[in-house]
């Protein structure tokens, strides 16, 4: 009776736990900790979305059970967004389902399509649910490079040749959490051609579709002709509209995969609270200037963070998308590893970051820094980090702190 349950045994200890414990202990001592470790948007949800929630929640008829696949108006709104943004036509009845955030959708689809012993191809490093959603479902996971380039494509070819059984599905996530890599439509075309040839499903996580800063506007994999034969894509309102706690996401694409997710969700939940779904319709169909404002806010924060770190001698690539910087650990600290470096940075600089090891073994040697504080706090954080680096012998760059850093290369 003391043994761990089977599925729990497949989950390793939570990598972020020791950093979170140190953060909580520091705050309990009254220390001012600047938390850049979470991916939790700190800005309020745009007012017109909140107003629609308030209006809807006052209707008693909206207080009962909803439907697990989402109200029809919400599925139509998501289809409308895809047509406007990506020029992709979707059938709201057969090719769209609302989920309780993209994370829940990914995990439930993993459960719906996975048999014990199946092989799933997952980028490493990547967001933990990409790997552990399938591990919980009983699959074996094979790591592939996280970069949208020939390295990933060659690794996919090797994985198909050398995996027994042949892989069932492939996960992709661009803009990526944690690495901030972006993919273009040409890469997706090669990926879709590969998956169709090998009869492998693609699960695309597009949660950061609207958080981008350069000329490359993140495309949808569903924009590739024939992609709906093998692909489903997950999106979310969490980052686009600062609605993380509202838990509103979607899956769209391949009818067979959407049907499988719909069927399993019908046994597990009654969908999101109806007023939240009504407010989500207002988000998708309403004025979109708030999306541009949120994007501009993250870009301003990115520039403040990267310039501040460069001025202290920490050469962190400037992300072209997502709400994170993927930072190589400075040379004097690399032997510590990402967990111990994160704890040391917390202790001596009062800044919390996420250790790269938490995103897979190939995340070791990096930390993820979130753009989740205002510019004043980010400047405070970079000043503290510069002091920390200087105390350990890291010298500032010779170039001006205002010089533009190199972006993350994909």
Task: Return the pLDDT at 71.
Answer: 96
How do beta strands 231-236 and 249-253 pair? antiparallel
pLDDT tens digits along 217-274: 999 999 999 999 999 999 999 999 999 999 999 999 999 999 999 999 999 999 999 9
The closest alpha carbon to 388, from 328, 331, 347, belongs to: 347
Q: Which residue has the tokens 């704890």?
A: 343
Phi and psi at residue 124, to the nearest 5° = -140, 115
Half-sphere exposure of 74 (CA within 13 A, CB side): 27
Band (pLDDT 50/70/90 cuts) for residue 396 is confident
Phi and psi at residue 408, to the nearest 5° = -65, 130
**pLDDT at residue 106 above 70?**
yes
Biggest CA pair distance of the chain = 65
Band (pLDDT 50/70/90 cuts) for residue 402 is very low
Going from the C-alpha of 234 to that of each of 212, 262, 313, 320, 368, the distances in angstroms are: 17, 14, 38, 20, 22
Does residue 203 sit in helix, strand or coil? strand
How do beta strands 140-145 and 169-173 pair? unpaired
pLDDT tens digits along 159-192: 999 988 899 999 999 999 999 999 999 999 999 9
- How far apart are the C-alpha atoms of 131 and 310, rounded to whole Å? 33
Going from the C-alpha of 274 to that of each of 188, 257, 283, 284, 285, the distances in angstroms are: 35, 24, 14, 15, 17
pLDDT tens digits along 53-72: 999 999 999 999 998 899 99
Burial of 243 (0-12, 13-18, 19+ CB in 10 A): buried
Domains and CATH numbers, the chain: 6-44+289-392 (3.90.1150.10), 47-287 (3.40.640.10)
């Amino acid at each position: 009776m003391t043994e761990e349950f089977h599925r729990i045994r497949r989950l390793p200890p939570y990598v972020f736990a020791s950093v979170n414990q140190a953060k909580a202990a520091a705050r309990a001592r009254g220390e001012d900790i600047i938390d850049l470790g979470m991916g939790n948007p700190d800005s309020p949800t745009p007012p017109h979305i909140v107003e629609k929630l308030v209006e809807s929640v006052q209707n008693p008829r909206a207080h009962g059970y909803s439907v697990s696949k989402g109200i029809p108006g919400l599925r139509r709104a998501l289809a409308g967004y895809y047509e406007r943004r990506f020029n992709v036509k979707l059938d709201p009845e057969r090719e769209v389902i609302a989920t309780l955030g993209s994370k829940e959708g990914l995990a439930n689809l993993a459960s719906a399509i996975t048999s014990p012993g199946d092989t799933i191809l997952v980028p490493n490093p990547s967001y933990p649910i990409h790997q552990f959603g399938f591990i919980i479902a009983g699959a074996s996971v094979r790591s592939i490079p996280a970069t949208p380039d020939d390295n990933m494509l060659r690794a996919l070819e090797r994985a198909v040749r050398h995996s027994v059984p042949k892989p069932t599905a492939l996960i992709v996530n661009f803009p990526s959490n944690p690495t901030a890599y972006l993919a273009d439509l040409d890469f997706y075309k090669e990926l879709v051609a590969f998956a169709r040839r090998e009869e492998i499903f693609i699960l695309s996580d597009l949660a950061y579709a609207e958080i981008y800063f350069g000329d490359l506007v993140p495309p949808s994999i569903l924009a590739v002709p024939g992609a709906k034969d093998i692909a489903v894509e997950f999106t979310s309102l969490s980052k686009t509209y600062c609605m993380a706690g509202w838990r509103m996401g979607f899956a769209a694409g391949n009818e067979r995969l959407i049907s499988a997710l719909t069927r399993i969700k019908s046994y597990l939940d009654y969908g999101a609270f109806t007023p939240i779904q009504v407010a989500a319709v207002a988000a998708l169909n309403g004025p979109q200037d708030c999306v541009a404002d949120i994007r501009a806010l993250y870009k301003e924060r990115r520039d403040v963070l990267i310039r501040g770190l460069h001025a202290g001698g920490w050469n962190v690539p400037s992300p072209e998308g997502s709400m994170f910087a993927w930072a190589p650990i400075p040379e004097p600290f690399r032997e510590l590893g990402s967990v111990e470096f994160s704890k040391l940075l917390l202790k001596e600089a009062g800044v919390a970051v996420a250790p790269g090891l938490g995103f897979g073994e190939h995340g070791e040697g990096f930390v993820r820094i979130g753009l989740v504080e205002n510019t004043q706090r980010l400047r405070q954080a970079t000043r503290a980090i510069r002091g920390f680096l200087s105390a350990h012998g890291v010298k500032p760059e010779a170039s001006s702190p205002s010089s533009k850093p190199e972006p993350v290369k994909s």
